[in-house]
A = this chain, B = another copy of it.
């Protein structure tokens, strides 16, 4: 039995983007039921929760009573359990490498660029920093463009690596950059056309909808 631990409430801009989406998507791909447990700021600071998640972040996936933290480790774990890793040895290795690549060679750059407007709008340093961060994001998009040209998915067949990378790409949704990279754009659309993605987003949005309606 899987239990997904996530935030009780989030700002409007984060609805649909909370990182539990990655775990939800994998679970939905496999038609795997799961329950949701929500936490608040007091839990995030508690030593009990820090034993499960040392940074007080979400998500945590409880597999039975075993807590798994870091969305990369959660997807790697679910990939094996739910048949979302490729079957060939080399393709499995590729999926693992791309999981790490999405988290360390791509997301930090996309995140730094996206955060300029999400978290730092109007701060004194933002406009001077923007060109460098935009250039680095475009460099990584170009690297991805070359890899994805002629390939539907990162490791041959759809895998947890694609759940990770396509959710990382969403950091640039409103940047106008993705449209400059046709293979990357087509790849993201291919991933997000999957019914399990839509179900995962809907499930996350539904969790926060009552609070929004009541606000």
Chain A positions within 8 Å of B, measured between CB atoms, are: 47, 50, 54-57, 66, 68-73, 76-77, 90, 93, 96-97, 99-101, 103-105, 107-108, 111-112, 120, 123-126, 128-129, 132, 140, 143-144, 146-147
Q: Name the residue among A105, A128, A140 with the largest chain B CB count within 10 angstroms.
A: A105
Count copies of this chain in the complex: 2
**Could you tell me the distance in whole angstroms from the C-beta of A171 to the nearest C-beta in chain B?**
13
Question: Other CB < 8 Å A-B pairs besides A57-B105, A104-B108, 14 of them?
Answer: A47-B146, A54-B147, A56-B143, A68-B97, A69-B101, A72-B103, A73-B93, A73-B96, A103-B104, A107-B108, A124-B125, A125-B125, A125-B129, A129-B129
28 A-B residue pairs with Cβ-Cβ distance under 8 Å, sorted by A, are A47-B146, A50-B147, A54-B101, A54-B144, A55-B101, A55-B105, A55-B140, A56-B143, A66-B93, A68-B93, A70-B97, A70-B101, A70-B105, A72-B103, A73-B93, A73-B96, A73-B97, A76-B100, A77-B93, A104-B104, A104-B107, A107-B108, A108-B108, A108-B111, A112-B112, A124-B128, A125-B126, A125-B128
Minimum distance in angstroms from A22 CB to a CB of chain B: 12
Distance between A147 CB and nearest chain B CB, rounded to angstroms: 5
Cα distance, A174 to B147, chains bound together (Å): 37
